[in-house]
Amino acid sequence: MTLDRLLDRACQNHPEKTAILSRDQNLSYRQLNNQVNALANGLLALGLPRGGVVAMLLPKTPAAVVTFLAVIRAGGVIAPLNLRLKPDTLRVAFHHLNPFAIVADAMYQPLLAKHLIPHHPHCRIILTGNGTAGHVSPSPQAPLALDSLLSRESERSPSPNTGENDIAYLNYTSGTTGIPKGAITTHRNLIWNTRGAVEMLKMDSRDVHLCMFPIYAHPHEIFCRSLYLGGTAVLLDSMYPRTIARVIEQFQVTCVMAVPPFFRSLFPLGRSREFDFSSLRLAEAGGVYSPPEMCKEFEDIFQRRFLPVWGSTETTGIALATAPDGEYRHGSMGRSCPGYEVTIQGPGGREAAPEEAGEMVVSGPGVVQGYFNLPAETDATFHRGAWHTGDMVRKDEAGFFYFLGRRSGLMKVAGLKVYPSEVETVLQGHPQIEEAAVIALPDELRGEVPKAFVVPKPAVTLDLKEVRDFCRVQLADYKVPSQIEIRAALPKTETGKISHAELAQEALDALADDEAKSLERRVHAIDLKILELLNARVELVQRIMSYRERNDQPLYSTLQGNEIIARIIEENKGPIYDEAVEEIFRKIIALDLLIQP
């Protein structure tokens, strides 16, 4: 089975059923299939080779879904790019991909003219909207209008003979530094991941899906499940709680996939009963850890189970999930989904015992084969078909997994292990704290110490001493944050995760500022000491000169000035250059000539 065959099946079984719902445009499965065929034929007419890469710079619209599926149907590889990347970073991404074509929103034409066309003059550019009007392109091949391609090309399905092991798309990680890695995702990966999620979460064709992830982060999650089931996908590119609540009510959304902070933003609206959330039956939260207190609060407000999951780009989506019924553990990430084997690797590579901490390793047909054009990065984490996640977890006797922290984020305080997520969980359990993040700070005595950033709940004034006392009740002394900083909000990535990297950089910058000020004070103290020594030297020279029988002796020593300087330079251990020492002491010796006994 392939993704384009899923579309064929859905079109045959439910041609007039709504496939895509949005505030501006709705598409039935027949309309979606026709547009996909037209664009696929257009790309093939332009010369798209089998396996050719087509980049995508589009907002979350029906055109993005059509483009994604059309490239796949034409036998190409779709590469959705982050709309918020800086121009220089996009230029590097274009170089990395060397795309045959790019489908972009018209607003990006100036950016493409500057960063894509000069280096990739043969790349075909397809723009949405009126992007081709009134512009002169420096490319020998002028931009094409997407609407024009859709209207003029045949709606008959092409026959590229795509196989399940063919690459469908490059699923880029949501990295916050450098160029994100493109996970090589096949049709087989997509089908197995979708099937596992559907079975685990007990979804069916009646479901209406709203995925709040950006179009460039796990974009298949936006429509793959509904396509697999013959259901309906809702497209919404807004993070305003009222807008989201209105869409859930208007379109009778049954399944929402988002990061935990998204659901938290709906709490006030859920309490006020201003909107009708009765259609919502699956609240699936991934991307970041879901604290037990937040899960309970959601369930109290909405009267349905909160469903934490764990997934990644490398596993093509969720590999652990909380089922909507049956056993449940607050604070866990759930159990492994069908089609995934999840193990915990302890010290020495052995399998960890129950409740023992270790690195999570995931294998199965949903795990990708590696990263596009990055063999070293692939070899570092993929071994014999398994992906070593870098996440430190434990598993209980019932098979539920619990996140402890990133292996790279593990800090050692005086040699003792501290997982930031453990401290964050305790802080988030404080009744007056809305959000918390913990990072490691360098410390001269203990190596590292935890620092916490907390956001208080509305209309609350936090007592930091009381917060520390709260932590001491539940944590060992060395795990209690040495510093707690109150913030009005925490920085977030595009996908809604707390940006620990940004917080760490801010903290290190602050430390550097403190260190710089300390060093400045020390330099000032040394300057004063130098002044004191110069005055003491003058007094000594004056005494020497008073003892001389011949007052015309210009120096305190019988040595010549050059000899004095040479003797001093011999003792120079650096880092000051000898030339600088010479210049400084020539000025000092010159003072001797001004001294009168």
Q: Is the pLDDT at 47 greater than 60, yes or no?
A: yes
For 219, other C-beta atoms within 10 Å of its C-beta total 23
What pLDDT does 567 receive?
Answer: 80
- State the Cα–Cα distance between residues 352 and 250, nearest whole angstrom: 48
Question: Cis peptide before 121, with omega less than 30 degrees from 0?
Answer: no
Tokens of 559: 């040595």
- State the Cα–Cα distance between residues 53 and 67, nearest whole angstrom: 12
Q: How confident is the model at residue 138 (pLDDT cuts 50, 70, 90)?
A: very low
**Chain segment 538-587, per-residue pLDDT in tens:** 778 777 777 665 555 555 565 666 778 888 887 877 788 777 888 888 88
Q: What percent of the chain has pLDDT over 70?
A: 92
What pLDDT does 104 receive?
Answer: 96
The answer to whether residues 359 and 290 touch, using CB atoms and an 8 Å cutoff, is no
Q: Is the pLDDT at 114 greater than 60, yes or no?
A: yes
- State the Cα–Cα distance between residues 121 and 548, nearest whole angstrom: 85
Query: What is the CA angle 466-467-472, rounded to 5?
Result: 95
What pLDDT does 515 receive?
Answer: 67
Q: Across the beta sheet with 144-145, what order do the strands follow?
A: 144-145, 124-127, 101-104, 53-57, 77-80, 167-172, 182-186
Q: How confident is the model at residue 134 (pLDDT cuts 50, 70, 90)?
A: very low
- State the Cα–Cα distance between residues 199 and 202, nearest whole angstrom: 5
**Chain segment 283-314, per-residue pLDDT in tens:** 999 988 888 889 999 999 999 999 999 999 99
- Which residues have a Cβ under 8 Å from the Cβ of 359 and sit 6 or more positions away? 344, 345, 388, 389, 390, 391, 392, 393, 407
Counting beta carbons within 10 angstroms of the beta carbon of residue 176, is it exposed (0 to 12), middle (13 to 18) or buried (19 or more)?
middle
Tokens of 77: 């590889």
The answer to whether residues 404 and 394 touch, using CB atoms and an 8 Å cutoff, is yes
What pLDDT does 174 receive?
Answer: 59
**Chain segment 499-543, per-residue pLDDT in tens:** 888 898 888 888 777 767 767 777 887 888 888 888 888 778 777
Radius of gyration, alpha carbons of the chain: 32
Q: How confident is the model at residue 487 (pLDDT cuts 50, 70, 90)?
A: very high
What pLDDT does 35 receive?
Answer: 97
Closest CA to 435 of 476, 473, 491, 494: 491
CA distances from 103 to 3, 80, 143, 376 (A): 20, 9, 10, 30
Q: How confident is the model at residue 488 (pLDDT cuts 50, 70, 90)?
A: very high
- State the Cα–Cα distance between residues 325 and 244, nearest whole angstrom: 26
What pLDDT does 573 receive?
Answer: 74
What pLDDT does 594 receive?
Answer: 62
Q: Which residue has the higher pLDDT, 573 or 77?
A: 77
Domains of the chain from N-terminus onward: 1-205 (3.40.50.980), 410-498 (3.30.300.30), 522-592 (1.20.59)
What pLDDT does 593 receive?
Answer: 61
Location of structure tokens 């087989």: 188
| DSSP code, position 133 | T
Tokens of 404: 């402890």
Q: Which residue has the higher pLDDT, 573 or 149?
A: 149
- State the Cα–Cα distance between residues 194 and 265, nearest whole angstrom: 27
Transcribe 63-125 into DSSP letters: HHHHHHHHHHHTT-EEEE--TTS-HHHHHHHHHHH--SEEEE-GGGHHHHHHHTTTT-TT-EE
Q: How confident is the model at residue 596 (pLDDT cuts 50, 70, 90)?
A: low
**Chain segment 334-347, per-residue pLDDT in tens:** 999 999 999 999 88
Query: What is the CA angle 255-258-260, rounded to 5?
Result: 120
- State the Cα–Cα distance between residues 483 and 510, nearest whole angstrom: 13
Average of per-residue pLDDT across 132-158:
75
Tokens of 476: 């060992």
Counting beta carbons within 10 angstroms of the beta carbon of residue 397, is it exposed (0 to 12), middle (13 to 18) or buried (19 or more)?
exposed
Closest CA to 36 of 166, 163, 145, 150: 150
The answer to whether residues 579 and 568 touch, using CB atoms and an 8 Å cutoff, is no
Question: Helices 62-73 and 3-13: crossing angle, nearest 10°?
Answer: 120
- Which residues have a Cβ under 8 Å from the Cβ of 495 and sit 6 or more positions away? 174, 213, 214, 217, 259, 287
| DSSP code, position 366 | T
What pLDDT does 590 receive?
Answer: 75
Location of structure tokens 């939260």: 285
Q: Which residue has the higher pLDDT, 218 or 279?
A: 279
Q: Is the pLDDT at 135 greater than 50, yes or no?
A: no
Least confident of 220-229, 354-363, 418-427: 418-427
Closest CA to 317 of 217, 216, 236, 407: 217
Q: Is the pLDDT at 76 greater than 80, yes or no?
A: yes
Instruction: Determine if residue 500 is left, alpha or beta; phi over 0 gives left, psi from -120 to 50 gives alpha, anything else beta.
Output: alpha
Please name the amino acid found at residue 509.
Answer: D
**Chain segment 409-443, per-residue pLDDT in tens:** 778 887 777 888 889 989 999 999 999 999 988 88
Q: How confident is the model at residue 133 (pLDDT cuts 50, 70, 90)?
A: very low
Q: Across the beta sheet with 255-258, what order do the strands follow?
A: 27-28, 18-21, 232-234, 208-211, 255-258, 282-285, 306-312, 317-321, 335-336
- State the Cα–Cα distance between residues 329 and 402, nearest whole angstrom: 10
Average of per-residue pLDDT across 40-49:
96
Across the chain, what does the average pLDDT equal?
88
Q: What percent of the chain has pLDDT over 90?
A: 60
Q: How confident is the model at residue 102 (pLDDT cuts 50, 70, 90)?
A: very high
Closest CA to 162 of 78, 222, 237, 228: 78
The answer to whether residues 39 and 146 touch, using CB atoms and an 8 Å cutoff, is yes
The answer to whether residues 9 and 231 touch, using CB atoms and an 8 Å cutoff, is no
Average of per-residue pLDDT across 63-68:
97
Name the strand (E) or helix (H) holding 426.
helix 420-428
Provide the greatest CA pair distance for the chain.
118
